[in-house]
Structure 1
Amino acid sequence: MAFLRSMTKIPCHSFYYVPKPSSFSSSPPALSGDALVSAAVSILKHHRSKSRWSNLRSLLTATKDKRLTASQFSEIAVQLRNNAHLAMRFFHFTVDYSLSSHSLYSYATVIHILARSRLKLQAQNLIKSAMSRFPEAQQQVTATPVAILEALIITYRTCASAPFVFDLLVRACLESKKIDIAVEIYAILKSKNVYLRTRTCNFLIESVAKSRGCSAGYNLYREIFYLDVDDVVRNRSSAKGVCPTANTLNVVMIGFYREGLVDKVEEMWQEFASVGCVPNIYSFNVLMAAYCDDGRMKDAMRVWEEMDNRGLNHDAVAYNTVIGGFCGIGEVGRAEEIYREMVMKGVESTCITFEHLINGYCKMGDFDSVTMLYKDMCRKNFCPGSSTVNVIIKSLCDKNKISAASEFYRIAVKKHDVVLEKENYENLMRGLCQEGKIEEALKLQVEMVGKGFRPNLVELEPN
């Protein structure tokens, strides 16, 4: 592959071992050099598992240094590349018994062997291990931002690896919260015409959007997929088959949605047609959520109807989104209609469904409906969040239903281990004091202090 030939031109630091084809040739038997490698390979390949490791340990301890060099380990591992599980056990054996002076190169060899055998999780975990074991290498940024990248490049052809090994490296960086390094690795690979898979690109964009903001994620999205200023793919073939998918656009949309930029969410929705992608259910749900949060229920229901027109079934997320939207603007009756449709269509309600309806009825002051919904939640073994319990208590206190609020709180604490907000502690204490129930108010104050809140002694003065 042309790109691999160009990649090997990157300068190699002194701590890397550069393999030579001759190093894999056989030599007369002896406990040093190539003979040691051959003897170790023979034991690993031909001895039974019960005697393999003891014989190998005896072989190595009989040598002058009593351990393999990193290059010797790599030569052995390469000859085991068609048996990735054995190569991995060999690696762990040398680590557990300190039988090899491992380097980034020897780690990279095993990573390639695992990758070419599609043992992706094991390969990715080993990349993380290498990055933590050789942290000083990550600071040598004169040649490459992460030395493990150079090690993987150098060993790629010798190990007959697979291109997605670089995806594993980027994903390992992202999962380790090394986002800046992941972006820099992406840039180096791109300069060498090595293209990450779309799923990895999506993960990279999502991570950048979360750490640097949605605009940074959007700019990276445009850079990765070669988009020009008119939101059109300049040349899809130039991306070597790496093209945006619906999930790519969803990642960018959700970034804008989290920051409340509804207009940008709408722009990304228009971009589905520009880049030739078909929105999926998640795409519709994000757009509806943006409209619902903005109180634009007419637009949300337009999207809802478009889902029907495209033959997409509304899932629980879609129902909850619209129910929450109507409750948010005080149209609880419409929310109930959507909820009844949800039940009729056989879509399972969730805890969020009930929490939306409870919040809506609390705003209306309909505590009979709140009580009924709360009991339904309990029957379905749903656990309301502290925010919902606090909404109910605040609403009851606002209506001067102190006894009901106090009783509800005692039940909720026993059943759901909720945390009361300071404002509600004060609401309850104030109400209890007004009813002359000072002892109960004092108990709440003690509980309030135990939760780390600073008490307001004025609340305990009876009227």
Structure 2
Amino acid sequence: MAVPILKRLLFPIPKHKPISLSAFSSSSSSEQPNSLIPTVVSMLTHHRSKSRWSYLQSLYPNGFDAPEFSQIALQLKNNPHLVLRFFLWTQNKSLCNHSLLSYSTTIHILARGRLKGQAQILIKEAIRLPGLEDRSGESDDLESKPLKVFESLVKTYKQCGSAPFVFDLLIKACLESKRIDPAIQIVRMLLSRGISPRVNTCNCLIRHVSQCRGAHAGFAIYRGVFGLDCEVGEQNVKRVGRISPNVQTLNTLMVGFYQDGLVEKVKEIWDHIAELNCNPDGYSYSILMAAYCEEGKMDEAEDSWKEMRAKKVEPDIVAYNTIIGGFCKIGEIERAEAFFIEMGLNGIESTCTTYEHLINGYCKMGNVDSARLVYEDMRRKGLRPSASTLEALISVFCDKSRVLEALEVLRGALRHFDFCPTGKSYEFLITGLCQEEKMEEALKLQAEMVGKGFKANSDVYSAFICGYMNQGNTEMAEMLRNEMLETQMCGKEGHISC
């Protein structure tokens, strides 16, 4: 069925002449027959692999042109591994100046042989081929190159007996090389002739557009690709495309809107899942719960959790981290602990994110001992905390006048994780040490802070000034006060020499 459908691809591509398979076939058949092609084919298929390459090079030291290579490859198309070796050999030995024709032929043969990874590598090379010109003689640019590759693949499709997903490979290659506009154009041209890219390719396109141009742009692509001519939320959904979105499609849209901070749109897409008769998976529920957690609506988040369990959808680590983080954020640490315990009983391993949610939750509640216990458990498992989590832990220790314990946490992180603390972490510690009049320790820490690339700000100066004043060392306090003022003046008037 693929070949009749592909015949309909022979339509005008913007700024190019109509594509025609006959043009390719006639140009090949009009060449004078010679012994080169059957000789090379015979040598490649019958000679021992160790000797055939050197013998072939001795017979044809000047190599082959692209049409000759393509005709040889077509004779070997049922042996895609051999075609790939022949292509790479001619490429490495500079025995063929490969063009879009020879690239396209090889790509098709690899695709029909299900060698998708190798085919995609050659597609990326073809997109980067230098010296491409269109029929008007104008040189190519980054945007037009993929379209030329597409045109060449269309022209050579039938003769190579290729597989339709070769165009999916081209679309993904465009996306991976950040050429979004050509990818969109190729999808539209395929759809206009009734050829549907695979749904996961469409999902990939939506994701890239959402990431680069925003969730609304991704949603516009979604509507166009899947033929939906109504807004999200309308009851009567008319599909005019040949493919239908799946749950991963809707997840992609929800993630895009969530990352853009458009929580209400996440809920609209969720309602759209039911309209399309898709079954949400655990990740779908995680995104919806994350949207509720973002707004502090934990009742709604917990209702979603109960619905998920009622539908026998097993929560994964993402779902658990989402609900735990939501309860920690609003200070309901007991509820977070309950889910944490349940997660362990279900055999799901905690991640760094799990521990960080709990540490930040305990810090928010001022429960420094529990925060420390969770941190030590995290450290024993070899999980590295983020700088912001360590900063929160140090801050709450200092607030409780337990500066030496906070300093011990910092030293442990530096020892175990080769950690780089934040400037705020140093500030908290220096301020705490100065309040306890441990000026020597504070000075050593300030020197370490400078060594890490952090400058002393007015808060650090003020901490030292207060510390020395409390010790009765007014002379040192005055010196630091003058130094702070000079530093501030230098910051405000950059032309003043310090």
Q: TM-score, normalised by structure 2?
A: 0.85
Check 1:364–1:230 CA distance in 2 against 1; reply closer, same or farther (3 A cut): closer
Query: CA separation in 2, counterparts of 1:167 and 1:247?
Result: 17
Give, in whole Å, the separation in 2 of the partners of 1:426 and 1:387.
14
CA 1:41 to 1:308, structure 2 compared with 1: closer, same or farther past 3 Å? same
Aligned length in residues:
451
Q: Which residue of the partner structure matches residue 56 of structure 1?
A: 56
Over residues 65-111 of structure 1, what are the superposed CA-to-partner deviations in whole Å (9 max), with x where a residue is unaligned? x1211111111111111000000000000000000111111111100
- The question of whether the paired residues in 2 share the 8 Å contact of 1:246 and 1:277 is answered with yes
C-alpha change, 1:25 and 1:94, in structure 2 (3 Å) is same
Alpha-carbon distance, 1:278 to partner: 1.0
Contact 1:26 1:38 in 2 (8 A): no
Deviation, 1:378, is 2.5
Amino acid at match of 2:334: G
Q: 1:46 to 1:307 in 2, by over 3 A?
A: same
Instruction: Summarize the Cα distance change of 1:143–1:323 in structure 2 as closer, same or farther, 3 Å threshold.
Output: closer
Q: Which amino acid aligns with 2:251?
A: N
Deviation at 1:411, TM superposition (A): 0.9
Aligned position for 1:298: 299
CA distance in 2, matches of 1:5, 1:364: 67
2: CA distance between counterparts of 1:45 and 1:21? 27
2:71 equivalent to 1:70: no
* Alignment match of 2:128 (pick from 132, 148, 156): 132
Is the Cα–Cα contact under 8 Å of residues 391 and 424 in structure 2 kept in the other structure?
no
1:265 aligns with 2:261: no
- Does the CA-based 8 Å contact 1:291-1:299 persist in structure 2? yes
Answer yes or no: is the 8 Å Cα contact 2:251–2:283 preserved in 1.
Answer: yes
Distance 2:22 2:174 in 1: 24
Match of 1:30 in 2: none
Does the 8 Å CA contact 1:115/1:123 hold for their aligned counterparts?
yes
1:85 aligns with 2:81: yes
Contact map agreement 1:327 1:356 (CA 8 A) in 2: yes
Match of 1:333 in 2: 334
- Structure 1 partner of 2:91: 95
2:241 partner letter: A
Matched, 1:19 2:20: no
Confirm whether residue 5 of structure 1 aligns to residue 1 of structure 2: no
Structure 2 Cα separation of the partners of residues 298 and 81 of structure 1: 61
> CA offsets per residue over residues 142-192 of structure 1, 9 Å max, x none?
988621111111111111111110000000111112122211221222223
Q: Decide whether the 8 Å contact of 1:25 with 1:34 is kept in 2.
A: no
Q: How much does 1:293 deviate?
A: 1.8
3-state SS in 1 of match to 2:67: helix
Cα RMSD of the aligned pairs, angstroms, is 2.5
One-letter amino acid of the structure 2 residue matched with residue 194 of structure 1? I
- What percentage of aligned pairs have identical amino acids? 47
Q: Distance in 2 between matches of 1:404 and 1:135?
A: 66
CA distance in 1, matches of 2:237, 2:270: 19
Shift of 1:194: 2.2
In the TM superposition, 1:153-168 aligns within 5 A as 153-168=154-169
* TM-score normalised by length of structure 1: 0.91
Secondary structure of 2:174's counterpart equals helix
Aligned partners of 2:256 and 2:287: how far apart in 1? Answer: 10
Provide the rounded CA distance (Å) in 2 between the counterparts of 1:141 and 1:212: 19
1:454 correspondence with 2:459: no
1:423 aligns with 2:428: no
Report the Cα offset of residue 375 of structure 1: 1.9
Q: Deviations over 1:28-49 (max 9, x none)?
A: xxxxx63212211111111111
What runs of 5+ residues in structure 2 fail to find an aligned partner?
Answer: 134-138, 469-498
Say whether the 8 Å CA contact 2:286–2:322 is kept in structure 1: yes
Q: Which residue of 1 aligns with 2:440?
A: 439
Letter in 2 for 1:47: H
Which residue number in structure 1 is paired with residue 37 of structure 2?
A: 37
Tell me, which stretches of 5 or more residues in structure 1 are unaligned? 28-32
One-letter amino acid of the counterpart of residue 375, structure 1: E
Q: Could you tell which deviates more after superposition, 444-453 or 197-206?
A: 444-453
CA separation of 1:46/1:318 partners in 2, compared to 1, >3 Å: closer, same or farther? same
Give 1:213's aligned residue: 214
Q: Aligned pair in 2 of structure 1 residues 226, 449: CA closer, same or farther (>3 Å)?
A: same
Q: After TM superposition, list the pairs within 5 Å mapping 1:41-440 onto structure 2.
A: 41-61=41-61, 66-134=62-130, 139=140, 146-229=147-230, 231=232, 235-236=238-239, 238-240=240-242, 242-440=243-441
Q: Distance in 1 between matches of 2:146 and 2:176?
A: 17
Q: Is the 8 A contact 1:226 1:233 kept in 2?
A: no
- Per-residue CA deviations over 1:314-373 (Å, capped at 9, x if unaligned) read 222222111111110011111112222222333222222221111111111111111211
Helix, strand or coil for the counterpart of 2:158? coil
Residues 17 and 105 in structure 1, CA contact (< 8 A), matched pair in contact too:
no
| In structure 1, distance between residues paired with 2:299 and 2:342 | 18
Deviation larger for 43-52 or 222-231:
222-231
How far the C-alpha of 1:13 sits from its partner, in A, is: 10
Superposed displacement of residue 447, structure 1: 2.8
**Mapped partners of 1:326, 1:143: distance in 2:** 51
Q: Post-superposition shift, 1:244?
A: 0.4
SS in 1 for 2:70: helix
Partners in 1 of 2:144 and 2:263 — Cα distance? 42
Separation in structure 2 between the aligned mates of residue 454 and residue 133 of structure 1, nearest angstrom: 50
1:144/1:150 contact within 8 Å kept: no
CA distance in 2, matches of 1:142, 1:180: 7
Look up the equivalent residue of 2:301 and give its one-letter code: A
Shift of 1:251: 0.3
